[in-house]
Amino acid sequence: MFNLYNCNSKLVIDLKMPIIKVYNSTEKYKKIAIYSKNNNELTGRGLRTDITKKRISFVKKNLESLNIFFQNIIDVGCGDGSFLNEINKMSNKAFGIIPTEEELTKLREIFKKKITKKIEFYLGKSNKIPIKDNSVDLILCNCVLHGVGFNIDVFRDSLREFNRVQKNKGILYIGELPQFNEMKNRNYGTSFFKYTIWVLKNRGIKILIKTVIDYLKSLFGSSIYVIQPTNMFYIKKNNLLETIKDYNYKCIHIFDSSNNKKLTLSSSEVTSNRLDYIFVKINNK
């Protein structure tokens, strides 16, 4: 049985089994919330819960080093809520912002069983946060702003929105933001066949076999396989440090996202591609 649906004005085929083509990151996580039984897929790290745990420990450590108790925290694009589940302990109240009803329902289900009543979830996007002006102490936005559909305009809109909701002297933590295009030379579009050829040439036969097995698993219904275009947003550190000034933020710390090594702001050290940035909001001019 085939289901036809319209996604971003392109007609795509949604097989009964969950092999899904999407055209932006918001649509991707919506489909994951509908079809996947594994909540870690909401983080974009597939079955790698170890990476999610490692990232949470880095973000927590970096925030703790600031020695601030926050009145409130928002996590924009909060995935499965696991970052909030840890860092809410540094605050009186914590809110997860998530772009689709499907993810919202899933998050409320996950957190129904938890004892804490400190955490709530709301529908919103990085450039449309349902919170009043100058009210948030800590904004966390980890591994969100590079997704398919983001570009410099949406990125700037998001920084403007962070500035709007953030209290003066509040902290903005942007994590896992790439400096370079991780998708360079990946010209397979949304074709699975072309993707397998790319995998064979660039990753070798073992990974190719794994990829085909994952695909077949989806075909026979036990897991989800998402196919999406190969474009992403990225911004070099120095560019970001200039851009952010337009939104009245000052950078106070930078870390390598992969190993949490602290970098100096002017450092030209070779790092892995993704960086974590901590900014403080200075008074609006």
Ligand X SMILES: C[S@@+](CC[C@H](N)C(=O)[O-])C[C@H]1O[C@@H](n2cnc3c(N)ncnc32)[C@H](O)[C@@H]1O
**Residues making contact with ligand X (CB under 6 A):** 25-26, 29, 42-44, 52, 76-79, 83, 98-99, 103, 125-126, 142-144, 147
C-alpha–C-alpha distance, residues 161 and 10, integer Å: 29
C-alpha–C-alpha distance, residues 20 and 237, integer Å: 34
Give whichever of 177 and 241 is closer to ligand X, judged by the CB atom.
177
Compute the least distance from the CB of residue 232 to ligand X, in Å: 11
Give whichever of 218 and 257 is closer to ligand X, judged by the CB atom.
257
Can you read off the two tokens belonging to residue 211?
């990829």
Hunting for tokens 């100058």 — which residue is that? 134
Other C-beta atoms closer than 10 Å to the C-beta of 233 total 18
Compute the least distance from the CB of residue 172 to ligand X, in Å: 14
- Tell me how far CA of residue 182 lies from CA of 27, 29, 178, 232, 241, in angstroms: 20, 20, 8, 8, 21
C-alpha–C-alpha distance, residues 137 and 157, integer Å: 20
Give whichever of 43 and 228 is closer to ligand X, judged by the CB atom.
43
C-alpha–C-alpha distance, residues 58 and 131, integer Å: 27
Give whichever of 39 and 208 is closer to ligand X, judged by the CB atom.
39
Length of the chain: 285
Compute the least distance from the CB of residue 114 to ligand X, in Å: 17
Task: Find the helix or strand (DSSP H, E) in which 199 lies.
Answer: helix 192-203
Compute the least distance from the CB of residue 144 to ligand X, in Å: 4
Compute the least distance from the CB of residue 226 to ligand X, in Å: 12
Give whichever of 45 and 253 is closer to ligand X, judged by the CB atom.
45
